[in-house]
């Protein structure tokens, strides 16, 4: 195998779970420290979960089972139940 083939093979094998990306639109990224970015990301993860495992903060009136049914990759089961939007 060529080195290029090996490089593509090694970089494409790691699974990256989906995550929400921090929206810095309209902000100068240089003004936000790594510690601030990590604190914001941790807070958002604690409040809202991930695209595959969503959460609903206390006091928010959302139907968590419906939200979980819409979360994650598109799939179905033997009973015909569908889930996921992406």
pLDDT in tens, 38-70: 999 999 999 999 988 999 999 999 999 989 888
Cα–Cα distance for residue pair 66/83, rounded to 1 Å: 9
Class of residue 33 by CB neighbours under 10 A (exposed 0-12, middle 13-18, buried 19+): exposed
Predicted TM-score (pTM) above 0.85:
no
């Amino acid at each position: 195998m060529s080195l290029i083939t090996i490089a593509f093979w090694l970089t494409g094998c790691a699974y990256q779970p989906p995550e929400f990306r921090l929206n810095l639109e309209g902000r100068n990224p240089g003004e936000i420290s790594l510690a601030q970015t990590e604190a914001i990301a941790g807070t958002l993860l604690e409040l809202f979960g991930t695209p595959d495992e969503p959460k609903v903060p206390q006091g928010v009136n959302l139907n968590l089972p419906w939200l979980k049914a819409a979360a994650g990759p598109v799939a179905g089961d033997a009973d015909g139940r569908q889930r996921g939007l992406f």
